[in-house]
Chains A and B, each alone.
Chain A
Amino acid sequence: DAKTTQPPSMDCAEGRAANLPCNHSTISGNEYVYWYRQIHSQGPQYIIHGLKNNETNEMASLIITEDRKSSTLILPHATLRDTAVYYCIVSSANAGGTSYGKLTFGQGTILTVHP
């Protein structure tokens, strides 16, 4: 699976948009970009994923560049409850490979939302 690079930490004011960047310059054609987050002392929580097109759900938006070498997770109106470690993960979705569905977590970005 391709490696990802994220800033170690970011701050955001409550109510503002949080934009979390991720570089994945070695991503291959069959690899999806996933975002998970982990709030202190809890298991990771799925946020969103995409392949080529931008995606939006009730939690966030995912913007993937046209060359797919980077992406940005957008939390449109951050709240204090969004303070967490955010993980950007690239994973193959092809059947038959040993990495099928396996998530390889990096160090993530610690997002702190301030009042």
Chain B
Amino acid sequence: GAGVSQSPSNKVTEKGKDVELRCDPISGHTALYWYRQSLGQGLEFLIYFQGNSAPDKSGLPSDRFSAERTGGSVSTLTIQRTQQEDSAVYLCASSKREGRYEQYFGPGTRLTVT
């Protein structure tokens, strides 16, 4: 079946602009995770959703970052007033449920802030 999809695949934006990144999880997966991967930091956890609620937002680096999930499916990660240090690959993953179940990752969105 279809895997996790993310859009756009690439995004170039000017410093100070807002961006929205979209994640479509595997159908029926209730848990959804956002991570980002940058050259200096490796892969780091940002936030996870169980259904539409976000029990763990501990990885969001600042209040410029927010995420929502609607209908227990699609999720949007929004970055306001982007900075150059926000440049990274943003990865979304979904799993059947939270916990010990394997996570399936999307291809990522490469964000470049100029």
Residues in chain A within 8 A of chain B (CB atoms): 32, 34, 38, 42-46, 49, 87, 91, 93-95, 98-107
Contacts and interface: CB of A to CB of B under 8 A. Distances in A.
Given A44-B43, A49-B102, A105-B42, A100 B107 contact: no
Contact of A104 (B45, B91, B93, B105): B45
A53 B94 CA distance: 26
Given A32-B100, A44-B93, A44-B103, 11 more contacts: A43-B106, A44-B105, A49-B102, A87-B43, A99-B56, A100-B56, A100-B98, A100-B99, A101-B98, A101-B100, A103-B103
Contacts of B42: 105-107
Contacts of B102: 34, 46, 49
Contacts of A106: 42
A91 B99 CA distance: 9
B94 to A, nearest CB: 11
A21 B37 CA distance: 24
Contacts of A95: 98-99
